Amino acid sequence: MKEIDISALTRYNVQSLTPYSSARDEFSGKEGVFLDANENPFPSAVNRYPDPQQRELKSKFADLRGVHSDQLIIGNGSDEILDLVFRAFCEPGKDFVVTIKPSYGMYKVLANINDVRLTEIALDANFELDPDAILAVAEGAKMIILCSPNNPTGNSLSRKKIIKILEGFNGIVLVDEAYIDFATNPSLVSELKNFQNLMISQTFSKAFGMAGIRVGIGIAHPEIIEVLNRIKPPYNVNAISQEMALNRLAQVDEVASEVTQLKLERSRLINFLEHHKSVSRIYPTDANFILFKVNDANFFYDELVKQGVIIRNRTTAFGCENCLRLSVGTKEENNRFMKVFDNI
């Protein structure tokens, strides 16, 4: 395994922090009379604090992904995981992080909030990585953030190129795999045994169909997870969300069947767009959305909205001039999109 000095990478004041110890950390048994957490004793579904370490959810998710529980941190959406990584490793006003453009807009927002400089390296015309360009500017950076499959482009980044970056960089390489369950390319989880500097984020918001419960997962070497646990808010995943996520993990066949349906719908939408005279380019996608180019994205966006179909106008994103991003919906929703688009 490629090893890195995680302690040296950690933000100075976080190096000596210990996690807040809650009542439920100090006694995690299930039996007894609980008079330790100043809760209201009258029974209801939610009068008790949730498990701060989300042990059951971690255990089930670890089984699903073939990792160990101590390689997982669970957050209020994967956005919280990304924020925790910035806060645990980057010195505000001093450190810098490297990412790609175009990509998910929250990286910039989180960098700004945490007063961390973000250097964005352009993907090429096919939205593929240039690992040498990234490694050249990442000298001295705390972290490189990659997104695969990438948002808003939809394509998976080359695994070989990501591995080249993992080999050549001694900070953290965070790969955002929010859309991994729609991809033909396998997850990088299998590379965790080879790279201590690899961190992966995944989410219940996409393939699992649970954007509303805000559950995201960070997967990394236990030493990285231990640093993140030092700054994690104690009860960051509420009881209802933990329970609903666990119930969903008991229905993985249903999740898989929905993913299959969405991939079929994705093919149907691509086929429609391919035969449409107003569409000049459709970008390859491994996600549950399709980026495509028209002659005037603002016009098409406005016309679709007028007829009650809302898609995302990405024309201002780097390299995405006149591009629209279409999420794959149900069969009926996609039919509606196609009908309205045809009439414009």
Does 203 engage in binding with ligand PMP (CB under 6 A)?
A: yes
Q: Tokens 């299959």 correspond to what residue? A: 260
> Of 100, 147, 188, 262, which lies in the binding site for ligand PMP, with binding defined by CB under 6 A?
147
Contact 226, 79 (CB under 8 A): no
Burial class (CB in 10 A: 0-12, 13-18, 19+), 152: buried
Residue 209 CA to residue 163 CA, distance in Å, equals: 30
List phi, psi (to 5°) of 313. Answer: -85, 115
Does 127 engage in binding with ligand PMP (CB under 6 A)?
A: no
Does 216 engage in binding with ligand PMP (CB under 6 A)?
A: yes
Does 205 engage in binding with ligand PMP (CB under 6 A)?
A: yes
> Of 61, 86, 89, 104, which lies in the binding site for ligand PMP, with binding defined by CB under 6 A?
104
Q: Least distance to ligand PMP from the beta carbon of 80, Å?
A: 7
Strand-pair partners of 202: 217
Q: Least distance to ligand PMP from the beta carbon of 259, Å?
A: 16
Considering beta carbons, is residue 102 or 216 the nearer one to ligand PMP?
216
Does 208 engage in binding with ligand PMP (CB under 6 A)?
A: no
List phi, psi (to 5°) of 117. Answer: -70, 135
> Of 97, 111, 129, 178, which lies in the binding site for ligand PMP, with binding defined by CB under 6 A?
178
Does 151 engage in binding with ligand PMP (CB under 6 A)?
A: yes
Q: Least distance to ligand PMP from the beta carbon of 153, Å?
A: 11
> Of 83, 95, 176, 191, which lies in the binding site for ligand PMP, with binding defined by CB under 6 A?
176
Conformation bin of residue 217: beta by default, left when phi > 0, alpha when psi is -120 to 50: beta
Q: Least distance to ligand PMP from the beta carbon of 151, Å?
A: 4
| Residues in 53-82 that interact with ligand PMP by CB under 6 A | 77-79
Considering beta carbons, is residue 81 or 166 the nearer one to ligand PMP?
81
Residue 282 CA to residue 335 CA, distance in Å, equals: 18
Does 288 engage in binding with ligand PMP (CB under 6 A)?
A: no
Spell out a b/e string for 210-236, using b for 16 or more CB atoms within 10 Å of the CB, else e: beebbbbbbbbbeebbebbbbbbeeeb
Spell out a b/e string for 281-313, using b for 16 or more CB atoms within 10 Å of the CB, else e: ebbebbbbbbbbbbeebeebbeebeeeebebbb
Residues contributing to the site for ligand PMP (CB under 6 A): 77-79, 104, 147, 151, 176, 178, 203, 205, 211, 216
